A and B are shown apart, each in its own frame.
Chain A
Amino acid sequence: MAGQVVTGSRSGLRSALPLLLPAYLWLTVAIFLPLSAMVFFSFMTELPLSGRAWSFTLDNYATFFSQGLYWTLLLASLRLGLEVTLWCVVIGYPAAYVLAKVFRGRSREAIFLLVILPFWSNGLVRIFSWAMVLREGGILDTALNAVLPFKINIDLMYSYPAVIIGLVHSYVPYMVLTCYLTLQAIDDSLIEAGRSLGASRLQMLKRVIIPLSMPGLVAGAALIFVPVVGSFMEPRILGGRTGTFYGTVIEDQFVAVFNWPLGAALSFILLAVVLVILALASPVLKRVA
């Protein structure tokens, strides 16, 4: 069987087909069909489900360009994506380094589990837990006032930092995992060789370790930046009134205003912008990585 597949003959292709079929079927059903439907919706005046008459239009896309608000929100979301990604690098990379190069054996497994724990908890539970910690008179507030001699009033709830904290917590495991994989592939003897040549730890980091783990950083950044730019759950729950972003506006179109065509059009504009950013960044990233 395996031999047949390797030969690449027609019979090989035929025996490989049953193996590939589920994957293609899944891609078609889960991604291609809904996406095509959304493209279709984004060019309609009305949702056909509502029973009213509809026709094709470009108005939904025009709305984005005619109203400065959408553009402002998109910029705010891009900035949010950038900030969250940077915080994930700042927190996730050192964690991955320690995990890959300092801990060994059992203790590494235990800490690894702690890192990926957020992955296993429900997103909403995670966000509401943060709400309990961050609100005025909440856990953080109470704890700080119990330790500090003077009275302070921490009210991070419904603020931009709260959104950042919630998002960083949700997405930092991606950075830890991708960086861990590349860091752990760096042979310890490279680090020893560098040190025997007189390099300080900082020099080793700058000249050998970071360049060699760049693919992990880039992959982690892409995995985080893209969904954060479109995120709506954390901004809505932790940001309150300050939490209006591009993603929350899209969500509104689908669940509150029921203007699916506009929501679809806004989504595709976001997709296009993100793809352009990744395309522009890729030659630079390829060079450093």
Chain B
Amino acid sequence: MAGVQVANLSRSFGAHKALDDVSIDFADGGFYALLGPSGSGKTTLLRQIAGFDFPDSGRIAIGGESVERVPVEKRRIGMVFQNYALFPNMSVADNVAFGLSVRGEAKATIASEVQRALDLVQLGKLGARRPHQLSGGQRQRVALARAIVTKPRVLLLDEPLGALDKALRVDMQIELKRIQREIGITTIFVTHDQEEALTMSDRIGILRDGRLVQEGPPEEIYDKPKSEFAATFLGDANILRGETTGTGIRLADGTAIAAGAGATLAAGAKASCAVRPERIRIGTDSGTSDPNANMLRGQISKRIFAGNNSTYFVDRDGQTIKVIVQNTGVEKLAEGQKVVLRWSPESTVLIAASQDMD
């Protein structure tokens, strides 16, 4: 097992930069999620690491060994494809045995290793079946068993759960995480599902248009997004824009918003503040308990009840602010009602105005 380092990796297709100077350090034994919208370069990055495609420039190292020009069959990686890519002409056991058998391992070794891998993915009894006789979830497990039975240095997964329905997906997320912990393999997991990235990984890298936008543990990216894109792509965020005061911003109508975290900016520059909807308190009173709290007034334009919580859309000065409130059975606000929104500066992140987002 080994860590993976990519440094200043670029790859263009014609004039299109699919990867633009990406550097990431994937820790040994870590579970890393590559997150980004469709077309952001996630698959391209994974294919460079796997060796299916070669970068125009930059370095890739697996376990400290430079591999930029090493072909895929020599990289000792395990790959799981979105469409499973099981060999239809072989039984489940033969599929899993494939990697060991092309290496020329002894028959007895192969048999016991295959059984162990199938047991690990809880398909111990289905070795004799053909891939077409399995359900989607079972095929995904076979693909996983086939990828890890050769004891690769890295496990690469390209949206492996994308083709499964919601309930099965959650099961497989838990399962995949369990297996990854059990064998402790460095795992790079591509997804466009932010929830999946948040719940499964110990580090997330957000890609956009071939560039690495932000990188870090899930909590850090969620609590301290560095761009409006990161704030809105990972989780939900209200973005308030104005001119920075150094420690916060002043909105167009003069209201000051204080931020407890984020960038340090020169006063007067354009900037924005991001606030998560669940951090905002909503009420009708104007009396204040916390004099430092940020405060805005508005009118409820819409309320969506979702059982354990409710989402309020509050209009103020041409902008709609989203607020999520746990259903405690106390607060009952109706559409059209005038309300006061409050949240602490610690829940507010100051973000430099980005050139490429409005």
Contacts and interface: CB of A to CB of B under 8 A. Distances in A.
Interface stretch (A15-23, A26-34, A163-171, A195-203): A195-203
A187 B143 CA distance: 15
Given A199-B73, A203-B102, A207-B98, A193 B85 contact: yes
A211 interface: yes
B98 A196 contact: no
Given A198-B102, A200-B73, A211 B85 contact: no
A196 B47 CA distance: 11
A118 interface: no
Nearest to A197: B99
Given A194-B98, A198-B102, A199-B98, A189 B83 contact: yes
A212 interface: yes
Given A187-B83, A187-B85, A189-B81, A196 B102 contact: no
A190 interface: yes
Contact of A189 (B72, B85, B98): B85
B89 A197 contact: no
B346 to A, nearest CB: 46
A196 B99 CA distance: 9
Contacts of A207: 87, 98, 102
A192 B98 contact: no
A195 B81 contact: no
B45 interface: no
B282 to A, nearest CB: 49
A203 B87 CA distance: 13
Interface in B94-121: 98-99, 102-103
A208 interface: yes
B150 A198 contact: yes
A201 to B, nearest CB: 9
Interface string B59-85: 000000000000111101111010101
A195 B87 contact: no
Contact of B79 (A187, A192, A199, A208): A192
B146 interface: yes
Contact of B78 (A187, A194, A196, A208): A196
B73 A198 contact: yes
In this complex, which of B52, B79, B86, B89 has the most chain A Cβ atoms within 10 angstroms of its Cβ?
B89
Interface of A: 187, 189-190, 192-200, 203, 207-208, 211-212
What are the 3 A-B residue pairs with the smallest beta carbon separation, nearest first?
Answer: A197-B99, A193-B85, A189-B85
